[in-house]
Amino acid sequence: MLTYTIRRLVLAVPTLLFISLAIFLLLELAPGDPMANQPLTIPEEVRQKMREALGLGQPWYIRYVKWLIQFFWIEPQVMVDHWFGTAFAEGKQRVLSWQTRSPVMDIVYQRIPQTLWVVGVAYVVAILIALPIGIYSAYRQYSAFDNAGTFISMIGFSIPPFFTGPLLIVIFAVQLEWLPSVYNTVHEVVDWPSFKIQLAQMALPVMVLALQITAQLNRFMRASTLDNLNQDYVRTARAKGLKERTVVLSHVVRNSMIPVVTVIALNVPNIFGGAIITEVIFKVNGIGQLLITWLFANDIPGVLTLTFIFAILIVIFNIIADVLYGLLDPRIRYD
């Protein structure tokens, strides 16, 4: 298993390099000018000097190599300096946002906690709800519980977050006045009352995200459990006199989790991208809203960095899913 993991990590390096080049070239060919938001009264000569100050006067391959070095070499040094208090990366040229002229990764580090509060809690809640419902729905196929779960899952699949979000705001924030309609990013958790306020303002965005994730995981878990309930090894376990609880939990659920692990692992980076709409609706000052801001501002370094971070997450969690296969199913060997 260790050899396989190391081999996958080594193969991930050229994969990520190719992805970074593809993202860079796509943004390079995309229309848009970083000077488009500047006043029209600025002379063209000044605009050209401003473009050169942003590094746009160099060939694309030089700018790509510089960005790659800054992302993989300088930024990790700065992160280590931030954690351990050294000054090794002091004075190094970093990836700067065209909009704010601040280091891109510093802005990302400031926004990530807000996104993790909402997305992380929503994902954990969705897993804790979806997996037991999917297992019980499969075990009680076509029962009233199964039909109700199927109906709610179809609603979660069908209704997009840009409709669910405002609907929940109207119901719980405007009509009932139970919950706040926006996420207060300046709120600090210092004691139990402030933690309850944090939970209250997280409730609506978490509900929107958890509904979609729960609907998907529930259907996958139900289908996988149904497929394993009719296998020969289940009938053999029952014929041996094992308790039904042991048969379902120790045999059926463990094998049913193998395909579901892929969905759970690969959805982790996807949900960060899917949280963009939710963050905009509820004013969550996270990386999703940051990506929208940089897109409208034609801030190529910021968009490039965030997009590549999403790609890194996809590759990493793909490797994690493959490794978990061997832990869930002893028949799977990679050596």
Which residue is listed with tokens 């692992």?
265
289: in domain: yes
DSSP lists the bridge partners of residue 103 as 96
**Is residue 134 within 8 Å of residue 115, measured between CB atoms?**
no
Sign of CA dihedral 328, 333, 334, 335: positive
81: in domain: no
Provide the pLDDT for residue 244: 84
Sign of CA dihedral 310, 283, 290, 163: positive
Which of 14-23, 85-94, 194-203, 246-255 is most confident? 14-23
In sequence order, what are the residues at sequence separation of 6 or more whose Cβ sits closer than 8 angstroms to the Cβ of residue 147? none
Q: How far apart are CA 86 and CA 270, in angstroms?
A: 34
Residue-wise pLDDT for 10-29, tens only, equals 888 899 999 999 998 888 88
DSSP lists the bridge partners of residue 96 as 103
279: in domain: yes
**297-to-60, 96, 157, 158, 191 alpha-carbon distances in Å:** 20, 14, 32, 32, 38
87: in domain: no
**Is residue 275 within 8 Å of residue 119, measured between CB atoms?**
yes
90: in domain: no
Lowest pLDDT segment from 89-93, 175-179, 185-189, 241-245: 89-93
pLDDT exceeds 60 at position 84: no
Provide the pLDDT for residue 112: 82
Q: How far apart are CA 28 and CA 32, in angstroms?
A: 9
Provide the pLDDT for residue 334: 58
Name the domain count of the chain.
1
Residue-wise pLDDT for 208-256, tens only, equals 888 888 888 898 899 999 988 888 888 888 888 888 888 888 888 888 8
What CATH number does residue 137 fall under? 1.10.3720.10
pLDDT exceeds 70 at position 34: no
Q: How far apart are CA 30 and CA 24, in angstroms?
A: 10
User: pLDDT category, 115, cuts 50, 70, 90?
Assistant: confident
Provide the pLDDT for residue 18: 92
Q: For 172-180, which contacts have Cβ atoms below 8 Å and span 24 or more sequence positions?
A: 172/203, 172/204, 173/204, 179/203, 179/204, 180/204
Closest alpha carbon to 288 in 311, 300, 271, 308: 271
**Angle, vertex CA 217, rays to CA 211 and CA 219, nearest 5:** 100
In sequence order, what are the residues at sequence separation of 6 or more whose Cβ sits closer than 8 angstroms to the Cβ of residue 108? 287, 290, 305, 306, 309
User: pLDDT category, 190, cuts 50, 70, 90?
Assistant: low
pLDDT exceeds 80 at position 335: no
Provide the pLDDT for residue 88: 47
202: in domain: yes
* % of the chain exceeding 90 in pLDDT: 8
**131-to-148, 153, 173 alpha-carbon distances in Å:** 15, 13, 30
* Structural domain for 252, as ranges: 2-40+107-328
Helices (H), the chain: 2-29, 44-53, 60-69, 75-84, 104-115, 121-139, 144-158, 161-168, 192-229, 232-239, 244-246, 253-281, 287-296, 300-328
Provide the pLDDT for residue 128: 92
**Is residue 292 within 8 Å of residue 280, measured between CB atoms?**
yes
What's the token pair of residue 26? 């796509």
Which of 36-40, 60-64, 74-78, 92-96 is most confident? 60-64
* % of the chain exceeding 70 in pLDDT: 82
Residue-wise pLDDT for 283-331, tens only, equals 888 888 888 888 888 888 888 888 888 888 888 888 887 777 767 666 6
Q: How far apart are CA 23 and CA 21, in angstroms?
A: 6
Provide the pLDDT for residue 87: 47
pLDDT exceeds 60 at position 181: yes
pLDDT exceeds 50 at position 275: yes
72: in domain: no
User: pLDDT category, 107, cuts 50, 70, 90?
Assistant: confident
82: in domain: no
Q: How far apart are CA 205 and CA 278, in angstroms?
A: 6
Provide the pLDDT for residue 98: 76
